[in-house]
Amino acid sequence: MVNKDFFLALDALEQEKGIEKEYFIEALQTALTNAYKRNFDSAKPVEVVLKPERYTIEIYAYQTVVAEVTNPDTEISLQDAKLIKKTAKIGDKIKEEVTPKEFGRIAAGTAKQVITQRLREKEKSSAYGEFDSKVDTLITGIVNRLDAGVVYVEFPGNNIEGVMNAYDQIPNEKYNVGDRIKVYVKKLRETNYGVQAIVSRSAPEFVKKLFEMEVPEIADGVVEIVNVVREVGYRTKIAIHSKDPNIDALGSCVGAKGVRVNSIVYELGGEKIDIIVWSSDPFEYIARALSPAKVISVEIDEITKSSRVIVPDDKLSLAIGKSGQNVRLAARLTGWKIDVKSESKAREETNIQLSHTDVDDISDIFSGTEDINLD
């Protein structure tokens, strides 16, 4: 069956989309084979062959040459086989063209469905591949629409939609169509409508990537982010460590007059940030993690990985934080359970006058913390 227009359309598609027609031909041959069997009630093994160089679609039925025919749909006698192929012998596969004249209409309809499906698959695959490198990075997008608390973001130049669910948003942050926002790309997912990027502004990684963007020493790997914990919209604690003793990790993150960290605080809508210099000494690390509160002493139990921290009476509420927020974040940051006691309460419990030198050089410990906010 000659169908020149059909193959010229494939050529045009190849030129327009940059997709080789062989990508469609294999799928078309399979689909057309099924369409033939379905429409012509054929029990014979058949194969549809597309020949672009001749602009033809040909359908062949196959039968096996046997001495005695028991299934005429799949078998042919040697005598009948020789009428088709003079050199036929027992065991050969004999093919015979069975292309019906009316198959053109069926082929056109089937081809349209197959090409549409393959185009969608190709676009999905292409979009996924192009955007895959964006996972675990920050990217700027434009708010495209809002629906039932979900923010949909478009990325210019990419055929992928970003989806920011309610739990990935910063509380009380307002989004409007047309707003340009930075988001952290968590993962990609394929849907019936294309590839979507699941994005977030609430993930701890969002803050981590902001620091990587603002602090060259972090981007270069000289200053390392050890851990980040957040109570979104309220407070973040970030532990940092300098791999070079000549580089001030805290100063690098804060920047001259706080310019670096303040730009991050602004991006987070005023969320407080405690920058903690990490220490391998758990006494120092726990004391620093409770910033902005000052600590008198730290006792630890390495077996249970728990600690008892004593703070001045007037710093107890600061150490614990509103609804326990500060001590909760400090525990998550360090990986230690932290029980905070006021100095007077500790005296009552132990009846021992606590020394104010239980932690060596307290002033040095707190040179490794910074509490940043926009207040």
Residue 82 lies in a domain: yes
Query: Domain holding 190: CATH number?
Result: 2.40.50.140
The dihedral sign for the CA sequence 276, 281, 284, 290: positive
Shared-domain flag, residues 195 and 211:
no
Tell me: do 156 and 89 sit in the same domain: no
Nearest CA-CA partner of 281 in 198, 364, 357: 364
Contact 309, 286 (CB under 8 A): yes
Domain boundary residue, one of 158, 178, 200: 200
**Co-location of 117 and 154 in the same domain:** no
The answer to whether position 166 is within a domain reads yes
User: Using CA atoms, how far apart are residues 56 and 47, in angstroms rounded to an integer?
Assistant: 14
Distance of CA 286 to the CA centre of its chain: 33
Q: Are residues 178 and 209 in the same domain?
A: no
Q: Are residues 176 and 289 in the same domain?
A: no
In a domain, 109, yes or no: yes
* The two structure tokens encoding residue 209: 């990537």
Regarding whether 358 and 213 lie in a shared domain, the answer is: yes
**Is 108 a domain residue?**
yes
Domain count, the chain: 3
Q: Which of 269, 287, 266 is nearest to 278 (CA)?
A: 287
Q: Which residues contact 32 (CB under 8 A, 6 or more apart)?
A: 48, 50, 57, 59, 107, 110, 111
Q: What is the 3-state secondary structure (H, E, C) of 62-116?
A: EEEEECCCCCCCCEEEHHHHHHHCCCCCCCCEEEEECCCCCHHHHHHHHHHHHHH
Extract the tokens encoding 117: 């499906």
292 Cβ contact list (under 8 Å, min separation 6): 274, 318, 369, 371
Is 132 within the bounds of a domain?
Answer: no
Domain boundary pick from 100, 126, 152: 126
CB-based burial, 321-353: b 16+ in 10 Å, e otherwise: beeeebbbbbbbbbebebebbbbeebeeeeeee
In a domain, 225, yes or no: yes
CATH number where 265 lies = 3.30.300.20
Among 179, 200, 221, the domain-final residue is 200
Maximum CA pair distance of the chain? Answer: 114
Fill in the amino acid letter for 10.
L
Residue by residue, DSSP assigns 230-299 as: EETTTEEEEEEEESSTTS-HHHHHH-GGGHHHHHHHHHTTS-EEEEEE--SSHHHHHHHHTTTS--SEEE
Regarding whether 300 and 268 lie in a shared domain, the answer is yes
**Coil, helix or strand for 327?**
helix
Cα–Cα–Cα angle for 15, 115, 196, nearest 5°?
Answer: 95
Integer distance in angstroms from the first to the last C-alpha of the chain?
79
**For residues 117 and 14, is the Cβ–Cβ distance under 8 A?**
no
The per-residue DSSP string of 147-213 comes to: ETTEEEEE-TT---EEEE-GGGSPTT----TT-EEEEEEEEEEEETTEEEEEEESSSHHHHHHHHHH
Q: Is 131 within a domain?
A: no
pTM over 0.75? The answer is no
Stated length of the chain: 375
Mark whether 220 and 188 lie in a shared domain.
no
Same domain, 234 and 358: yes
Q: Is the Cβ–Cβ distance between 32 and 57 less than 8 Å?
A: yes
pLDDT for the residue numbered 8: 79
| DSSP conformational letter for 2 | B
Q: Residue 72 is part of which domain span?
A: 4-126
Note whether 281 and 164 are same-domain residues. Answer: no
3-state SS track over 15-68: HHHCCCCHHHHHHHHHHHHHHHHHHHCCCCCEEEEEEHHHCEEEEEEEEEEECC
Is residue 78 assigned to a domain?
yes
Q: What is the pLDDT along the chain (375 residues), one digit of tens a residue?
A: 556 777 777 777 777 766 677 777 777 888 887 777 777 766 778 888 888 788 788 888 888 999 998 988 888 999 988 888 889 899 999 888 877 777 777 777 777 777 777 766 666 666 566 677 888 999 999 999 999 999 999 988 777 889 999 999 999 899 999 999 999 999 988 777 677 889 999 999 999 999 999 999 999 999 999 999 999 999 999 999 999 999 999 999 999 999 999 999 999 999 999 999 999 999 999 999 999 999 999 999 999 999 999 999 999 999 999 999 999 999 999 999 999 999 888 888 766 444 444 554 544 555 555 555 544
Q: Are residues 256 and 302 in the same domain?
A: yes
pLDDT at 117: 74
CATH code of the domain containing 8? 3.30.1480.10
Amino acid 196: pLDDT: 85
Judging by DSSP bridges, how do beta strands 180-191 and 138-147 pair with one another?
antiparallel
Q: Identify the pLDDT of residue 373.
A: 53
157, 239: one domain: no
